[in-house]
Amino acid sequence: MKKLTVIALLLFCLHVCMAQDPGLIVKWDNSLMVSKSTPTLQVVGNPMLRRGASMHDGSFSALKDLNADYVRYVPWFPYPKLAVAELEAPDSGKTSWDFSLIDPMTIDFFEATKGHSVIMNFSTTPQWLYKTEKPVAYARDPNEVDWNYGGGTQLKDSTMKALTDYYVRLISWYTKGGFTDELGKYHKSGYHYEIPYWEVFNEPDYEHSMTPETYTKKYDAMVTAIRKVSPNTKFVGLALAFEKPDWFEYFLNPANHKSGITLDMISYHCYANANDRQKFDAYEYTLFDKADNFLNTVSYIESIRKRLSPGTKTDIDELGTFVSDEMRNQPISQAYWNLSASVYAYFFIGLTKAGIDVIGESQLVGFPTQYPDVSMINYLNSKPNARFWVLKMIKDNIKAGDTLVETAINGNTGDDITAQGFINGTDKKVLILNKRNKTIRLNVQGGFNGAKINTVDELSGDNAPIQSIINGDTIELKPFAVSLITLNPGK
């Protein structure tokens, strides 16, 4: 009888211990590293960013309000008339240069990001520059999505002069006030914008099926030509869809480039996607598992970069999440937006620890037929969603130059919570995210009582983070919540 009582007591104690809330531990005096990371986003050109479109005003207003640096701008191939300024080859004494549909969206982008660095990438090359069995048609309606504007692996002009001439003229349109076309006619724009960074193509391991060798030759030719008209521009290379080691090994080796070519920055992408036919109940595990796999890959790529070209910066400029194909045709829930926002916060912490320079969320605007699951603007009401608000909360509060300190979650048995403490002068801040689709209570003893806390969760919806004051020793993290605690100076 006494033996049973003892066992019951032990089981009760075990239950109590297991039921205790996890606790936040921040050792402010134990510095780990100094951050060099800048959070930002990419803007993909599409019809909803055209003037008069339902999402135009809200999207550009949000972009301007964000005040971010290193914003990436990418008109691309599904909308050829919004991305390619010369859709037909010069013929019969005339050219097809036409910026009338491209300019409004591009100028709105320049104006919304005025005063900040941007990364420009007109990634889509005119198809007539490539060898194909027959001319590649394009949709006449600029708003019609056209996934077939592509193809060809070899340029007609193997010297690459026709390729670089196209981009020199395009860049001159926006930086030099105009250009002279292939037939000697001058086209005046009147624009004199600065282009701090130019990214050379997009996902070349996918688009036009380039090899590391062919891409590197094109990169060198592009850099050489563009420098002549925009000498202060720096360049971003690769923009890979997949993290293939052979690409980094080849491109980052200075011996594989022409003399005088600098490797300012490289870029690559990651989307933590749901599996085919996967239900939302499993997303919280799949998406974070894939984020972890990517972070492991980043560490490997960084070892290559440091060995071959340590002065080259890294921009991971497309970070997002995808729903399964089955769910893409269904309305996207608030829970998904909060999950996706939490994944970006998780990426930000992991990539900051990895020493990545630029951490770019994808993308400002998406909508049905155009990757709705990566949008940072709610396409139903044109308001910024949770993905945007988490980015802005991080951008406004955590800067390159902040010091990361030792941070842990005591009793985090299910790896449900991730947190990281930062110090900037006397300011002490902690970024916390809930990885699970459940409410979790977190102990925050040790000086957090009275601190300010901003939270993006199911209650904030498409609105700015909810601001409150910590009252007591615990906080509540709703499903997929992202919170930022700010301690009063001196605490």
Q: For 300-310, how does the pLDDT look when each residue is reduced to its tens digit (9 = 90+)?
A: 999 999 999 99
Say what the pLDDT of residue 4 is: 44
In terms of average pLDDT, the best of 12-21, 155-164, 409-418 is 155-164
**Domain 20-33+404-487 coded CATH 1.10.3720.10:** no
Pairing of β 452-456 and β 417-424: unpaired
Say what the pLDDT of residue 17 is: 44
Residue range 381-394, pLDDT digits in tens:
999 999 999 999 99
Let me know: does 325 contact 276? Beta carbons within 8 Å. yes
pLDDT band with cut points at 50, 70 and 90 for residue 20: confident
Q: Nearest Cα to 407, choosing from 34, 36, 35, 29? A: 29
Give the mean model confidence (pLDDT) for residues 200-212.
Answer: 95
| DSSP string for residues in 349-407 | HHHHHTT-SEEEEE-S--BTTB-GGG-SB-TTT--B-HHHHHHHHHHHH--TTPEEEEE
C-alpha span between 46 and 471 (Å, rounded): 46
Contacts of 286 (CB under 8 A, 6+ apart): 272, 274, 275, 278
Distance separating the N- and C-terminal Cα atoms of the chain: 53
Say what the pLDDT of residue 472 is: 95
Residue range 86-120, pLDDT digits in tens:
999 999 899 999 999 999 999 999 999 999 999 99
For the chain, give the percent of residues with pLDDT over 70: 95
For the sheet with 23-34, list strands across it: 466-469, 452-456, 482-487, 427-434, 417-424, 403-410, 23-34, 440-443, 474-477
C-alpha span between 95 and 392 (Å, rounded): 43
Domain 37-397 CATH class label? alpha beta
Query: Does 18 have pLDDT greater than 50?
Result: no
Give the mean model confidence (pLDDT) for residues 275-299.
Answer: 96
C-alpha span between 463 and 337 (Å, rounded): 12
For the chain, give the percent of residues with pLDDT over 90: 90
**Angle formed at CA 203 by CA 119 and CA 251, multiple of 5 degrees:** 85
Say what the pLDDT of residue 489 is: 57
Domain ranges of the chain: 20-33+404-487, 37-397
Give the mean model confidence (pLDDT) for residues 450-474.
Answer: 97
Say what the pLDDT of residue 163 is: 98
C-alpha span between 267 and 286 (Å, rounded): 24
**Angle formed at CA 101 by CA 95 and CA 103, multiple of 5 degrees:** 95
Rounded to the nearest integer, the mean pLDDT of the chain is 94
Give the mean model confidence (pLDDT) for residues 295-320.
Answer: 98
Query: Does 13 have pLDDT greater than 50?
Result: no
Query: Does 338 have pLDDT greater than 70?
Result: yes
Whole-prediction pTM: 0.94
Query: Does 241 have pLDDT greater than 70?
Result: yes
Say what the pLDDT of residue 230 is: 98
Residue range 33-69, pLDDT digits in tens:
999 999 999 999 999 999 999 999 999 999 999 999 9
pLDDT band with cut points at 50, 70 and 90 for residue 11: very low
